[in-house]
Structure 1
Amino acid sequence: MKFGIFDHIDMAGDRPLATQYDERLTFAQAADEAGFYCLHIAEHHASPLNTVPVPGIWLGALARVTKRMRLGPLVYLLPLYSPLRLAEEICILDHLSKGRLDVGVGRGVSPFELAYHKIKHDDSRDIFADAYKALNTALTSELFSYESERYNYKNVPMPLRPLQQPTPPMWYGSSNATGSAWAGDHGLHFASNGPTERAKGNIQVFREHFAKHGKPAHPKPEFEGGVVVGVGRQIVVAETEAEALRIAKPAAEHHHANLTYLLRVHASDEAAKRFQVPTRAGLEEQMADGSMIVGTPATVAEKIAEQVETMGLNYMMAYLFFGTMQLSDALRSLELFRSEVMPKFAK
């Protein structure tokens, strides 16, 4: 069982963005020293949910302030990229990080964000699949040629090659059964999110399709079976239950407001609403459905153990810094997680 870090870097609202960036770099250094496996960064656009909508820039900064922890997007929104340009970016980041890059890919869950880039949500899955094939061809070719309805490359020189051969490990994050099945069919590492019951269903679909595929596309021997099966959870740890709730409640409320920002902007767009992943606003509801874990180290460890047992996980991404949370509180939560929670799962 291993633990990673997930982050949107959503707008806190009470301090300058430059300060937030500095705080996140400090936090990343602490997570690196604490022994977390990987730091995953989201990609969203035109929303306070995500202040690093060009994740490659942020990953380049992280690569220079960390030493051991793996790094990567979860996910690059492939319909928004030129496969050639993205392949070159991946090569740069793999070398900057000295081979610590893990690449998450996806199509984008928000119809609003896709529409801003002139991508129809109904077309995005087909575009994603095509872009994924083109990207992998580019990463594994010295002369890149690929032809489809959307992309046409012929004998493009690829002097930049990934440090990790043939490519960095590929991940897929999904909150629905269709994406979970695709990830299993292609042997990718997998992470889900949301309430435990929904995430459990996604993981079950992934496992069924992965079993048919037979083996991981990019094996990780440090994980059982060579494949990551994980889930993301917002987590707040403190010395007492009351202190953990004090920190978690305003941070969770602010984060949820950021999460649902575009839904409010497009409140009259009833057709688009159906594509949004359901979210629960209240802290108590999120704790009840398993998407948020709050409490003392003992409580947090117990809740994690229950989810590991229920979903059959070998990986959990701890979302420890979000919303209005102060750096000092996030660092204290991280330290308690490192010293009193992670050791319980070392074996």
Structure 2
Amino acid sequence: MRFDFVPFFNPGENIPWNRVVKMMREQTNLAEQADFTTVWLTEHHFAHNGYLNAPPNPIMMSLDLASHSKKIRVGQAPIVLPDWHPLRVAEDIALLDNMTEGRVDFGVAKGINERVTLQFNKDADRRDNEKSYRLFMESLEVILKAWTKDPFSHKGEFYEFPVPGWKETNRFLMPLEKEYHSEKGEYTGMYIHPRPYQDPHPPVWLMSNSPHTYKLAAERGFKVIGMSSPPGKLESCWDAYANAESHDGAKYQRGDGVGVCTVIYVAETMEQADKDARAAINGYYEYLSGSRPEGSWTRKAYLDDDANPTDEDLNGEWFDFLMKYELIWVGDADYVAEKIDKLNKSIGLNHIMLLQQFPGFDYQKILKSMALFSERVMPRFNPDGV
């Protein structure tokens, strides 16, 4: 079983960011001592209300946490590629990979529909979902070309590299290298440095709950992490991955190459866990559901397609709904371990990303929950390593 985590960043309150950074370092050190595999950094911007108080730059945050630890891997969950220039991402991640000597998991996604994207790139406006998806895929294509081809070039819907029209005139560079220049001196092929430390590059992780994305990932040699879902939806995604024709002919079993990001909170007793987390989880999921007005994160959407939610499911507290359908694991160590073991045996779960983003929550309780999880839950499962 592989255990990863996303650091708590105090959502719901804007506290000084030097404190947030120190909190993330402390959590990462605790996780490293407990043999977590990867710390994952999310990306959000313009958090005037504190709810999106995650690092605006998960690459820089990854470097900081790697420099304050010794062995834990650092990942991005995700880098929202449409909001970035792909050549910058290729360079920055390759540099991070060298600085950490291969401790990078490269996580990417298209991102959700929010106000942020238009501030960076009008082509990335996720109100046009198809266009932003094409931009996402082209950006990832550029990055992989830059890491693996020498020289590389690209011409797509959104980007062309090298940009046509540059003719080298620097006499120091004469005679020009033919692989990068035409006979007339035009720049025709590119190279980025450094090359990634990992060969051929850091593992690529997509963040998704779509069977289409899982199939695509398996075909291209990527891995996938999705948000907690009912077993039927997990199975449809994981089977799409396992049944895909992989790029290298590898045969996957259900659960290979995939993970689940799950809200987990551990207390000494079930009653204490409920008391601690109920209000915060209600607030967190109210916020999430409000962020997707088209209804994709309503309560019905959290269930299997053939499920019929009751009136209580639709109108009661989020906490009770999520606990009923085991979409969050909040309780004592026995309860949480039981939920992990159940999915491990039933559908092959072997990779968990622990999430504890509770608005207005006491940070010391986060540390206590992580300690209980690492001391009383993780030892019941065999470690899976990197």
- Verify same fold: TM over 0.5: yes
AA at the equivalent of 1:184: A
Q: Deviations over 1:276-309 (max 9, x none)?
A: 5746861111122222101111111001111222
1:207 correspondence with 2:242: yes
Alignment counterpart, residue 247 of structure 1, candidates 276, 281, 299: 276
AA at the equivalent of 2:369: S
What is the alpha-carbon distance in structure 1 between the residues aligned to residue 212 and residue 46 of structure 2?
A: 26
**2:230 aligned residue:** 196
Contact 1:175-1:193 at 8 Å conserved across structures: yes
Contact 2:142-2:154 at 8 Å conserved across structures: yes
What is the alpha-carbon distance in structure 1 between the residues aligned to residue 289 and residue 339 of structure 2?
A: 26
Which stretch has the larger CA shift, 158-167 or 115-124? 115-124
**2:37 aligned residue:** 37
1:226/1:205 CA distance change after superposition, 3 Å? closer
1:238 correspondence with 2:267: yes
AA at the equivalent of 2:70: K
Q: Deviations over 1:29-83 (max 9, x none)?
A: 1111111011112223445234212211211211111211111112222222221
- Tell me the SS of whatever aligns to 1:143: coil
What is the alpha-carbon distance in structure 1 between the residues aligned to residue 337 and residue 255 of structure 2?
A: 25
Query: Deviation at 1:253?
Result: 2.7
AA at the equivalent of 1:294: V
Alignment counterpart, residue 79 of structure 1, candidates 82, 92, 117: 82
AA at the equivalent of 2:19: T
- Tell me the SS of whatever aligns to 1:156: coil
AA at the equivalent of 1:81: W
- Tell me the SS of whatever aligns to 2:149: coil
What is the alpha-carbon distance in structure 2 between the residues aligned to residue 68 and residue 226 of structure 1?
A: 25
Query: Deviation at 1:88?
Result: 0.6
AA at the equivalent of 2:36: F
AA at the equivalent of 1:192: G
Q: Deviations over 1:134-157 (max 9, x none)?
A: 110111234332222221113233
How many matched pairs?
333
What is the alpha-carbon distance in structure 2 between the residues aligned to residue 225 and residue 166 of structure 1?
A: 25
What is the alpha-carbon distance in structure 2 between the residues aligned to residue 253 and residue 295 of structure 1?
A: 16
AA at the equivalent of 1:318: L
Contact 1:32-1:68 at 8 Å conserved across structures: yes
What is the alpha-carbon distance in structure 2 between the residues aligned to residue 310 and residue 212 of structure 1?
A: 27
- Which structure has the bigger radius of gyration? 2
Normalised to the residue count of structure 2, the TM-score between the two structures is 0.78
What is the alpha-carbon distance in structure 2 between the residues aligned to residue 246 and residue 86 of structure 1?
A: 42
Mapping of 1:149-160 within 5 angstroms?
A: 149-154=157-162, 155-160=189-194
**1:337 aligned residue:** 373
1:194/1:241 CA distance change after superposition, 3 Å? same
**2:138 aligned residue:** 130
Contact 1:181-1:205 at 8 Å conserved across structures: yes
Query: Deviation at 1:28?
Result: 1.1
Alignment counterpart, residue 308 of structure 1, candidates 344, 357, 367: 344
Query: Deviation at 1:178?
Result: 2.4
Contact 1:143-1:157 at 8 Å conserved across structures: yes
> Could you say which structure has the higher helix fraction?
1
Normalised to the residue count of structure 1, the TM-score between the two structures is 0.86
Q: Deviations over 1:69-106 (max 9, x none)?
A: 11111222222222111101101211222210000122
AA at the equivalent of 1:177: P
AA at the equivalent of 1:335: A
Q: Deviations over 1:111-168 (max 9, x none)?
A: 6544554223221221122111111011123433222222111323323111112101
AA at the equivalent of 1:77: V
Query: Deviation at 1:214?
Result: 3.0
1:238/1:226 CA distance change after superposition, 3 Å? closer
What is the alpha-carbon distance in structure 2 between the residues aligned to residue 13 and residue 111 of structure 1?
A: 19
Contact 1:185-1:210 at 8 Å conserved across structures: yes
**1:65 aligned residue:** 68
Which stretch has the larger CA shift, 113-122 or 7-16? 7-16
Contact 1:76-1:106 at 8 Å conserved across structures: yes
AA at the equivalent of 1:167: H
AA at the equivalent of 1:245: D
Where in structure 1 are there 5+ consecutive unaligned residues?
A: 217-222, 268-272
AA at the equivalent of 2:250: K
Which stretch has the larger CA shift, 12-21 or 80-89? 12-21
What is the alpha-carbon distance in structure 1 between the residues aligned to residue 84 and residue 73 of structure 2?
A: 23
Contact 1:115-1:121 at 8 Å conserved across structures: no
1:308/1:260 CA distance change after superposition, 3 Å? same
AA at the equivalent of 1:161: R
What is the alpha-carbon distance in structure 1 between the residues aligned to residue 89 and residue 66 of structure 2?
A: 17
Where in structure 2 are there 5+ consecutive unaligned residues?
A: 163-188, 303-313
**1:146 aligned residue:** 154
What is the alpha-carbon distance in structure 2 between the residues aligned to residue 58 and residue 261 of structure 1?
A: 28
What is the alpha-carbon distance in structure 1 between the residues aligned to residue 220 and residue 150 of structure 2?
A: 23
